[in-house]
């Protein structure tokens, strides 16, 4: 044993360990690539073949708390949907509003007798799920309703959207249908444009992929249509024990063997947060809800089932990649920096492999997404180009075009990087993926200051919208570890949606 070099073995073991850390960063990239590569297969595997003309009796339940500014227009638009009026009931559940919501809804009740109904909860503020359940109990009290549409007070359904959803319910295997929630603020700013692009990526893109894979992650809260049978099968009510009632409803539907279909051509316009702070609160609620979902359904992940596809490898890897993305980013950075300090040649090689994979995935996803909703993405072209963040694009360029950042650009100015300079440039490139989340956090902190009004948007363009979402997910880890109160926190709506 005297010839065994323990020092060399230790170095090798450490290198392997650091490589494993770097490899964690590749998992979300591969999951993203998998999601987007299957999208064109929606041409062959979609639900249109089984859809038939079908206009069941639809009860629309709208939870409303202090929605006086928007509820009248919402009801008017629902009453002008391209859908048989005698098959349409609208129930506005007024969650103990303190503004003029009751008066506005009662006026609409008189204007549309037999179609619009005002329901009042005297005890409010318990959250959307409680409010919905009040309306659902009324709707289920008689057998008129054949399908239930859950929506938000401020969203706008395009005229043909409901009939495009109901056609899928003609297939008895379908339990629920969701629509494309499209960012629809009239006064768009940089953040709502980023959100609009994110929604293109996550809905007409990713949810088409989920249609192909046969498992949907979440019915949109503002547009979920259930059959009566499905609603009764999941208990006749919406789950009230978590902040992720939409996801739990989606999972429960599929666990009982019913399909959930995403209809990309049923478009619903929604007002999304126009400030980082409001977005942070909304997404923190979603992220913490997903922690509940992940724990509650721990028995289904990566386990084959004849009843549903939620346990498929593809669905599981996509779900956990999104949820654990910030951890993967940090571990990947630690691995790269560790290899750099070991002066391992592997550092540059694995950095190139990781970021070239990321670059190709980003390029493919954004090029495809830009074509899925051209009116929206053409208005948001700046956000399409800078979606990964301007600094991340530089990091991508460093990996994809070797020598560009280290040699060619300094060479244009007659400069040459020293060995020390190259080391710290590489250090900066490797640490950036994690540090970008700090940039997003700073953008939120300074948003309400005078300088922040200019600097916060600039920071988000620099660090990337994805890093902002990762920073919020990271915050959800901290809140979970601290066991902070998980409160239902209504996203402020001001009626900015353009019809």
Q: Which residues bind another protein (CB under 8 A)?
A: 39-40, 42-43, 46, 48-49, 51-53, 82-85, 158-161, 163-164, 167, 180, 204, 208, 264-267, 359-360, 363-365, 367-368, 371-375, 400-404
DSSP letter at 490? Answer: P
CA atoms within 13 A on the CB side of 242: 19
Beta carbons within 10 angstroms of residue 2's beta carbon: 3
Give burial (CB, 10 Å; 0-12/13-18/19+) of 418: exposed
Spatial separation of the C-alpha atoms in residues 456 and 438, rounded to whole Å = 12
The answer to whether 461 and 190 have CB atoms below 8 angstroms apart is yes
Q: What tokens does 52 get?
A: 């038939």
257/374 with CB nearer another protein = 374
Bridge partners, residue 182, by sequence: 269
Spatial separation of the C-alpha atoms in residues 272 and 479, rounded to whole Å = 23
Spatial separation of the C-alpha atoms in residues 172 and 336, rounded to whole Å = 52
Spatial separation of the C-alpha atoms in residues 487 and 200, rounded to whole Å = 28
The answer to whether 270 and 182 have CB atoms below 8 angstroms apart is yes
272/475 with CB nearer another protein = 272
184/311 with CB nearer another protein = 184
Q: What's the closest the beta carbon of residue 53 comes to another protein, in angstroms? A: 3
β pairing state of 147-150 and 224-227 = antiparallel
Q: What's the closest the beta carbon of residue 352 comes to another protein, in angstroms? A: 11
Spatial separation of the C-alpha atoms in residues 175 and 227, rounded to whole Å = 6
Phi/psi for 314 (5° steps) reads: -60, -45
26/342 with CB nearer another protein = 26
Q: What's the closest the beta carbon of residue 203 comes to another protein, in angstroms? A: 11
Q: What's the closest the beta carbon of residue 37 comes to another protein, in angstroms? A: 8
Q: What's the closest the beta carbon of residue 58 comes to another protein, in angstroms? A: 13
Q: What's the closest the beta carbon of residue 286 comes to another protein, in angstroms? A: 24
3-state secondary structure of 68: coil
Q: What's the closest the beta carbon of residue 400 comes to another protein, in angstroms? A: 6
137/265 with CB nearer another protein = 265
64/181 with CB nearer another protein = 181
32/204 with CB nearer another protein = 204
Q: What's the closest the beta carbon of residue 471 comes to another protein, in angstroms? A: 28
3-state secondary structure of 331: helix
179/291 with CB nearer another protein = 179
DSSP output for 299-366: TTTT---SS-STTSHHHHHHHHHHHTHHHHHHHHHHHHHHHHHTT-THHHHHHHHHHHHHHHHHHHHH
83/91 with CB nearer another protein = 83
302/401 with CB nearer another protein = 401
400/423 with CB nearer another protein = 400
Beta carbons within 10 angstroms of residue 232's beta carbon: 12
69/79 with CB nearer another protein = 79
3/375 with CB nearer another protein = 375
Spatial separation of the C-alpha atoms in residues 272 and 282, rounded to whole Å = 10
Beta strands in 151-252 (DSSP E): 156-157, 174-183, 224-227
Q: What's the closest the beta carbon of residue 381 comes to another protein, in angstroms? A: 15
What's the residue count for the chain? Answer: 499
Q: How far is CA 215 from CA 261, 313, 495, in A?
A: 9, 11, 33
Phi-psi bin for 86: left (phi > 0), alpha (psi -120 to 50), beta?
A: alpha
DSSP output for 373-403: SHHHHHHTHHHHHHTT-HHHHHHHHHHHSTT
Phi/psi for 367 (5° steps) reads: -65, -35
Q: What's the closest the beta carbon of residue 191 comes to another protein, in angstroms? A: 23
Q: What's the closest the beta carbon of residue 98 comes to another protein, in angstroms? A: 36
Nearest to 175 by CA among 204, 130, 216: 216
Q: What's the closest the beta carbon of residue 408 comes to another protein, in angstroms? A: 9
Q: What's the closest the beta carbon of residue 388 comes to another protein, in angstroms? A: 14
Beta strands in 69-146 (DSSP E): 88-95, 116-121
């Amino acid at each position: 044993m005297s010839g065994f070099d323990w020092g060399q073995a230790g170095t090798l073991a450490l290198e392997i360990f650091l490589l494993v850390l770097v490899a964690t960063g590749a998992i979300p990239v591969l999951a993203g690539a998998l999601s987007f590569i299957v999208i064109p297969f929606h041409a062959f595997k979609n639900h249109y073949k089984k859809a038939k003309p079908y206009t069941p009796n639809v009860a629309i339940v709208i939870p409303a708390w202090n929605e006086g500014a928007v509820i009248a227009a919402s009801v008017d638009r629902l009453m002008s949907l391209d859908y048989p009026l005698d098959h349409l009931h609208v129930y506005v559940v007024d969650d103990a509003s303190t503004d003029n919501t009751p008066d506005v809804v009662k006026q609409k009740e008189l204007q549309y007798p037999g179609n619009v109904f005002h329901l009042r909860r005297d005890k409010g503020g318990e959250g959307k799920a409680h409010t919905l359940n009040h309306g659902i109990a009324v709707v289920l009290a008689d057998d008129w309703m054949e399908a239930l549409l859950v929506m938000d007070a401020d969203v706008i359904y395009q005229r043909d959207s409901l009939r495009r959803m109901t056609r899928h319910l003609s297939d008895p295997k379908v339990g629920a249908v969701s629509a494309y929630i499209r960012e629809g603020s009239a006064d768009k700013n940089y953040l709502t444009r980023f959100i609009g692009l994110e929604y293109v990526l996550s809905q007409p893109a990713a949810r088409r992929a989920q249609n192909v894979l046969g498992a949907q992650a979440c019915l949109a809260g503002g547009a979920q249509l259930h059959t009566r049978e499905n609603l009764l099968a999941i208990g006749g009510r919406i789950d009230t024990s978590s902040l992720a009632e939409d996801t739990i409803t989606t999972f429960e539907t599929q666990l009982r063997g019913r399909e959930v279909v995403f209809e990309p051509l049923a478009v619903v316009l929604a007002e999304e947060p126009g400030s980082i702070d409001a977005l942070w609160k909304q997404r923190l609620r979603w992220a913490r809800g997903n922690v509940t979902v992940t724990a509650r359904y721990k028995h289904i992940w990566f386990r084959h089932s004849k009843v549903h596809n939620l346990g498929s490898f593809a669905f599981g890897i996509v779900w956990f990649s999104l949820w654990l993305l910030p951890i993967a980013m940090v571990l990947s950075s630690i691995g790269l920096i560790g290899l750099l300090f070991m002066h391992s040649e592997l550092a540059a090689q694995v950095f190139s492999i990781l970021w070239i994979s990321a670059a190709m995935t980003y390029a493919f996803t954004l090029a495809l997404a830009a074509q899925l909703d051209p009116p929206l993405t053409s208005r948001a072209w700046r956000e399409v180009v800078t979606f990964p963040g301007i600094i991340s694009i530089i990091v991508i360029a460093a990996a994809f075009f070797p020598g560009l950042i280290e040699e060619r650009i300094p060479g244009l100015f007659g400069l040459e990087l020293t060995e020390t300079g190259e080391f710290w440039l590489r250090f900066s490139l490797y640490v950036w993926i994690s540090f970008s989340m700090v940039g997003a956090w700073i953008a939120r902190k300074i948003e309400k200051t005078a300088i922040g009004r200019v600097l916060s948007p600039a920071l988000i363009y620099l660090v990337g919208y994805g890093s902002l979402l990762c920073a919020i997910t990271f915050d959800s880890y901290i809140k979970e570890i601290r066991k902070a109160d998980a409160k239902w926190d209504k996203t402020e709506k001001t009626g900015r949606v353009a019809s």
